[in-house]
Structure 1
């Protein structure tokens, strides 16, 4: 192994010192040190790390070592504020510039920038690329430019933004300043496009594992989905996000959850900006536990203690799903992702994509959605499917998804399949799945009697099984290509050619025993750390009190992971408190006395 040069040794020492003294971490995560060294040497970089994987430190640590200022391109106002709040809580001079800042405050920020007061400046791409702003930056000593959410620059990405395309001009304005692109979600085509669009010069590319081992991936067949959601959310502890594809569904679900006693709120673009902002701040401040939202919510959320994410509707791409589920467990503590899946939803989404105005993106979006469907339909380890999509091939099962924890049981489903297919055929392939189920179960609804479908041979042949059971069987037959949904005719079921030999008993079929609910004994997330839960609850209460006094989110004071570490290690001196993960010198000075006093009182309490 070659020895580090004196320069590399100096970089290593400075970076490690900054990491511990400012951010409170004893060691770098995978890849952080390599990226930091390359950037400090003046090289461009492309960093691909999962949400919660430590991307921010890849530019925040160099920012505190470089002599000048680091400019961070960030897409959303709320994200900037949360990150700046966190940096200030750690004793870092940071600020942001966006449309929410009054003119007098903006002028004051400009003055402080000229005086060299700040080490990090967060700014939106549309503001950054204004010529007068570029001119202003030329008067500063810009040491590094970091482009967060860099996948937004690529038309291959799932969240392409026109404003980001202009960022490639930055290299022309600052040819000698290292630039860093950072993203958690990029396939091979998107990665190459990011480098090209940002005009990165021979960048150092680091791609860490996309795996988020602390997240448990669960899927349920969507049936009576509102009841499924209510039961799931009531079983959870802590903050969560529920994603829906429509504003109407957001409003409906948030009201129904609230009626069940869940502290929640709905969030979508149809609400007034000040209402959206208040809801988002209440969620970040832990004043409400659950946000029901369209995908417009969350990209700007830096909240580390989200414990679960539910997709009530199917996302359009693996990238979207990965990014949205990645908002859970950013502190490294156990978290869950639940996807409710219905083949009818999938058929509707395919139709919506095909009807989109941007015809150039149809094929790309349909291809990405097909991959999302494959993930939902998988009967093998979900994490393997997810990682394989990002070209991270894994031979081992993860042991932390519903398929691994509670593997699907197989059975000879030939008779069940024949009952369904025969019923669809006898109903003339003119009805949707629920009508087929009603006939199979022997219902005598008005329409069934009027159409004399109570007289056909398949009426009542499946009455011993539930609606949810047959719904699951139908979905499996669709997955296996024996049925298709005709979305142009009211989601009616149609037989395919592959159904013919099965109906004629010329072949057999294997199906999975329908899973109608999560087995919570098997699938409940578990934290293998043994810490004092009672002390943890007290520490959370103190954190909330301090956060309200300081007007910052609770996780800015300390993450759940730091509190769990305190509840496990129970530090009783400043030196021991400084050894807690996430405790730097500034946080020791600001919060150490109160937390140490609480821990001491807990240990000395009678009984």
Structure 2
């Protein structure tokens, strides 16, 4: 497996969760992978597809994603194609002929293609050895991007004697169980890694001067690529007008534009011709542009799934990036209106999700931790140290209360649910407390002067700082609690919401020759233009940074850099080596 990974994709080792998923597929067993954006989901079906041979059928609800994936595979020397409504008749005939002659290793199709009888009959003639469901949350009726056509595809795919692999970046417990049920995936074959993205700094900004903030931010980061999401087409147009007046290079995307306009504007952004994209949520899902340095939400989305999916388009290359959410009470009213116009059968569920989204804008706990806790309530939390809440100073020293809470939890020995712990701390005369003899503990009633709401706030602070772990609705002390119990480490919390107004900055490159990095970007841009592919399919910013840091002068040195595979070494690296050697000769 590692040999395939290195040869075609240029990586020495697999990321967390990838090897396990690939092993299931190689052993002819279906699996579900829930990996964060930028976590390498596509490799989870591309590597086993190459190992198993034959044809891998990738079902994707996103036309833009298909093209990016196929471009990337072809750039790595892997034969791939896609079938969707964007193809001309002659192009489609050429691909169908290629499939008949077994020219392709990967075929990407949209779910709607299965409505065609001729297509389904054609599939029966192919040697399909793996079926991958990309953006699998779209299969589930509980997913935030549910596509009924995607769900209907499953019936047609059951006839093939091959494993299924479903991958997604965002799946709540309900969505995960729904996907498993539909595809027949057992619990032990679900690989779910943390949604934590250590390179992302999440910010919440409740400013009333949204336009001013966005203008100043974009002007300050004019060399960076970024996305600004607005709630309506009208807002997109208004921001675009301001940017045009300020001569800020940008483009726009919303459903009101013609198909050609949308495709043209998307291409400008993906190919780095326009660094800034202003768009509604019609843009972005499946856009595999790795060097987006910031995502700004001008308006609050309807749920955390949508927010994390959109914000997660920042920093896919692993470099430091920012996700800024601006919100106002007007945003809440707008989302409530959208919910009122939706199907009555799902309105209550949408209202619950909106409440969680509102909670995110109000919480004083770690923002990254809040997102992680939403998707996986059992995951152990720790502060990210870089979000707007982590960077702001807590207003209240709760170290004394923390000592009492942790001491009480330890004395209760077994893991206990939150409400029972609060009852003991408050010294309540409760039957459950007495049944377990907790009223006899020395810690019984230690915090009787506090209300339940206040104790919940203290517990949340300990939870989000990693001192308490909550899984399956039960709380236990984490080993890190010793830092408070023994070392008396200070624990701060808030009684008032944070008013975060700190200026934000981005650091994308450290200890790198920036002049060489910019020259390498020019080489990549020209090469991508010659091949008519997006620049990031040649090499990511991260790989170019490694070039600029290590300055390889031979192919032997370059092959050891992450992101350089055998195919790219032969076809692309000579131009980059020439650039590096020319730079070094001028520097001498």
Q: TM-score, normalised by structure 1?
A: 0.78
The answer to whether the aligner puts 1:356 opposite 2:341 as a matched pair is yes
Distance 1:528 1:397, change over 3 A: farther
The answer to whether the aligner puts 1:534 opposite 2:515 as a matched pair is yes
Distance 1:510 1:150, change over 3 A: closer
Structure 2 residue corresponding to 1:587, chosen from 554, 568, 588:
568
The answer to whether the aligner puts 1:152 opposite 2:138 as a matched pair is yes
Structure 2 residue corresponding to 1:109, chosen from 83, 95, 98:
95
Structure 1 residue corresponding to 2:207, chosen from 179, 203, 222:
222
The answer to whether the aligner puts 1:96 opposite 2:82 as a matched pair is yes
The answer to whether the aligner puts 1:572 opposite 2:553 as a matched pair is yes
Deviation at residue 173 of structure 1 after TM alignment: 1.7
Structure 1 residue corresponding to 2:364, chosen from 366, 375, 379:
379
SS in 1 for 2:74: helix
> Which position in structure 2 is the counterpart of 1:239?
225
The answer for unaligned runs of 5 or more in structure 2 is 398-456, 458-493
Residues 251 and 268 of structure 2 are in contact (CA less than 8 Å); yes or no, is this contact kept in structure 1? Answer: no
Residues 517 and 545 of structure 2 are in contact (CA less than 8 Å); yes or no, is this contact kept in structure 1? Answer: yes
Distance 1:114 1:202, change over 3 A: farther
Deviation at residue 347 of structure 1 after TM alignment: 3.1
Residues 298 and 326 of structure 2 are in contact (CA less than 8 Å); yes or no, is this contact kept in structure 1? Answer: yes
> Which position in structure 2 is the counterpart of 1:596?
577
Residues 410 and 511 of structure 1 are in contact (CA less than 8 Å); yes or no, is this contact kept in structure 2? Answer: no
The answer to whether the aligner puts 1:182 opposite 2:167 as a matched pair is yes
Q: Deviations over 1:393-427 (max 9, x none)?
A: 3342111211112336579xxxxxxxxxxxxxxxx
The answer for unaligned runs of 5 or more in structure 1 is 1-14, 412-479, 481-508
Distance in 1 of aligned mates of 2:139 and 2:579:
48
| Larger Cα-atom Rg | 1
**Structural mapping, 1:55-74, within 5 Å:** 55-74=41-60
Distance in 1 of aligned mates of 2:115 and 2:52:
23
Distance in 2 of aligned mates of 1:193 and 1:130:
26
The answer to whether the aligner puts 1:125 opposite 2:111 as a matched pair is yes
Distance in 1 of aligned mates of 2:51 and 2:113:
26
Distance 1:275 1:408, change over 3 A: farther
* Coordinate RMSD, CA, aligned: 1.9
Distance in 2 of aligned mates of 1:410 and 1:297:
42
Distance in 2 of aligned mates of 1:403 and 1:511:
12
SS in 2 for 1:61: helix
Q: Deviations over 1:90-125 (max 9, x none)?
A: 100000001111222212211111111100000000
Distance in 1 of aligned mates of 2:555 and 2:290:
25
Deviation at residue 586 of structure 1 after TM alignment: 1.1
Distance in 2 of aligned mates of 1:328 and 1:396:
22
Distance in 2 of aligned mates of 1:25 and 1:297:
30
Distance in 2 of aligned mates of 1:590 and 1:365:
50
Residues 243 and 295 of structure 1 are in contact (CA less than 8 Å); yes or no, is this contact kept in structure 2? Answer: yes
Residues 250 and 276 of structure 2 are in contact (CA less than 8 Å); yes or no, is this contact kept in structure 1? Answer: yes
Distance in 1 of aligned mates of 2:381 and 2:541:
32
Deviation at residue 172 of structure 1 after TM alignment: 2.9
Deviation at residue 203 of structure 1 after TM alignment: 6.9
Residues 71 and 120 of structure 1 are in contact (CA less than 8 Å); yes or no, is this contact kept in structure 2? Answer: yes
Structure 1 residue corresponding to 2:390, chosen from 404, 408, 413:
404
Deviation at residue 201 of structure 1 after TM alignment: 6.3
Deviation at residue 597 of structure 1 after TM alignment: 1.3
Q: Deviations over 1:552-575 (max 9, x none)?
A: 111111100000111111111101
Distance in 2 of aligned mates of 1:50 and 1:558:
21
The answer to whether the aligner puts 1:297 opposite 2:283 as a matched pair is yes
Deviation at residue 527 of structure 1 after TM alignment: 4.4
Distance in 1 of aligned mates of 2:528 and 2:208:
41
> Which position in structure 1 is the counterpart of 2:319?
333
Residues 70 and 146 of structure 1 are in contact (CA less than 8 Å); yes or no, is this contact kept in structure 2? Answer: yes
Further displaced range: 279-288 or 343-352 = 343-352
Deviation at residue 171 of structure 1 after TM alignment: 4.4
Structure 1 residue corresponding to 2:269, chosen from 283, 299, 304:
283
Distance in 2 of aligned mates of 1:395 and 1:528:
28
Q: Deviations over 1:187-210 (max 9, x none)?
A: 001100012223446771100111
Distance in 2 of aligned mates of 1:220 and 1:394:
27
Distance in 1 of aligned mates of 2:132 and 2:352:
30
Distance in 1 of aligned mates of 2:334 and 2:235:
15
SS in 1 for 2:7: helix
Distance 1:510 1:568, change over 3 A: same
Structure 2 residue corresponding to 1:27, chosen from 4, 13, 18:
13
> Which position in structure 1 is the counterpart of 2:460?
none
Distance in 2 of aligned mates of 1:547 and 1:409:
52
Distance in 1 of aligned mates of 2:537 and 2:342:
42
> Which position in structure 1 is the counterpart of 2:26?
40
Residues 509 and 545 of structure 2 are in contact (CA less than 8 Å); yes or no, is this contact kept in structure 1? Answer: no
The answer to whether the aligner puts 1:345 opposite 2:331 as a matched pair is yes
Distance in 1 of aligned mates of 2:187 and 2:308:
28
The answer to whether the aligner puts 1:369 opposite 2:363 as a matched pair is no
> Which position in structure 1 is the counterpart of 2:502?
518
> Which position in structure 2 is the counterpart of 1:560?
541
Distance in 1 of aligned mates of 2:394 and 2:509:
25
> Which position in structure 1 is the counterpart of 2:375?
390
**Structural mapping, 1:442-591, within 5 Å:** 510-512=495-497, 514-515=499-500, 517-520=501-504, 524-527=505-508, 529-591=510-572
> Which position in structure 1 is the counterpart of 2:61?
75
Distance in 1 of aligned mates of 2:9 and 2:529:
22
* Runs of 4+ displaced beyond 6 Å: none
Q: TM-score, normalised by structure 2?
A: 0.81
Distance 1:365 1:549, change over 3 A: same
